[in-house]
Amino acid sequence: MLEVKDIVKQYAKHRALDHVSFSIKKGSIFGLLGPNGAGKTSLIRIINQITAPDQGEILFNGEPLGEKHISRIGYLPEERGLYKKMLIGEQMLYLAQLKGLSKPYATERIKDWFEKMEMQTWWNKKVEDLSKGMQQKVQFVATVIHEPELIILDEPFSGFDPVNVDIIKNEIINLNKKGSTIIFSTHRMESVEELCDSIVLINKSKKILDGKVSEIKNAYRNNQYLIKYTTSEHQLENQEGNHLFKVLSMENHDHETKATIEISDKHSINEVLTYLISQQFQIQELIEIIPSIHDIFIKQVKETY
């Protein structure tokens, strides 16, 4: 749906984006990741046509991104911006009509969303009378009220309590199921693992990683396993002549031992199991440790410093 092709953005002596390219599949939830100052906000501003790239182009459904696409995009910025003195219902009507909705249809849509988000009594309240979390719910509704094809969410869970995080998360999933493509920018890596199909990682203005979440995690597997076994006179660290694996950590709890091991590249987990059984270890559980997106994020960012 969206192709970012060789984007460069320069601010005076600072290069915010340095030949960044990636594509976003239609109907996906896409994670735009990177530490503070990486260039994410600059890219989001270009997609929203707030600023223009110095080099490169962005295609929206195969067409060069232009003014006609603005009404097909919904944008929730990290820095929220609502009119604090204006009544919420009037404000929602105003913003919906800016996106091309007729007043009757906008009214119907707003009432549906207010009921869905338990905001029925907010129509005649002012933004300044709401808590930060309540204001965020209003801004989320304003972002999606016109049923955009592309939804850009910059730190959408900021300021929410766990209950409202779940509400917003469920609505993101529902919008995606109805066909919206979603760009999801956040520092909450657990949400990335839960929601995103694919990601791109930007650091110091450059793309350093992109692809499907499942494929990236699979590529960073490191032959580490968690083993639980019944504690006895046999201990993993005391196995002389063992060249199959090394013990990285070990914990003893009552009559159970939990150990993290790393298998040699020359050997397999089946060889390790055969060896442990031959040594009379009573194995209770064996789990491969797959690196999380958080671990991969930290590793990749550190390697670019």
Q: Are 176 and 250 contained in the same domain?
A: no
Does 275 have pLDDT greater than 90?
no
* pTM across the whole model: 0.87
Same domain, 16 and 137: yes
Mean pLDDT of 287-303: 90
Does the pLDDT at position 179 exceed 60? Answer: yes
pLDDT at res. 304: 72
Residue 296, in any domain of the structure: no
93 and 128, same domain (yes or no): yes
Residue 135 sits in the same domain as residue 185: yes
Total structural domains within the chain: 2
Is 227 in the same domain as 209?
A: no
The pLDDT of residue 79: 79
Query: Containing domain of residue 160, as a range?
Result: 2-218
Return the percentage of the chain with pLDDT > 90, whole number: 61
pLDDT exceeds 60 at position 241: no
Residue 276's H or E segment, with its range, is helix 269-278
d(C-alpha 25, C-alpha 66), whole Å: 19
Residues 127, 88 within the same domain: yes
Does any domain span residue 190? yes
* Residue 61 CB neighbour total at 10 angstroms: 14
With a cut of 80, say whether residue 94 has pLDDT above it: yes
Q: Would you state the pLDDT for residue 229?
A: 87
Residue 132, pLDDT above cutoff 60: yes
Mean pLDDT, the chain, integer: 90
Contact 29, 195 (CB under 8 A): yes
Sign of the torsion formed by the C-alpha atoms of 40, 41, 42 and 46: positive
Span 224-233, average pLDDT: 82
Mean pLDDT of 51-61: 96
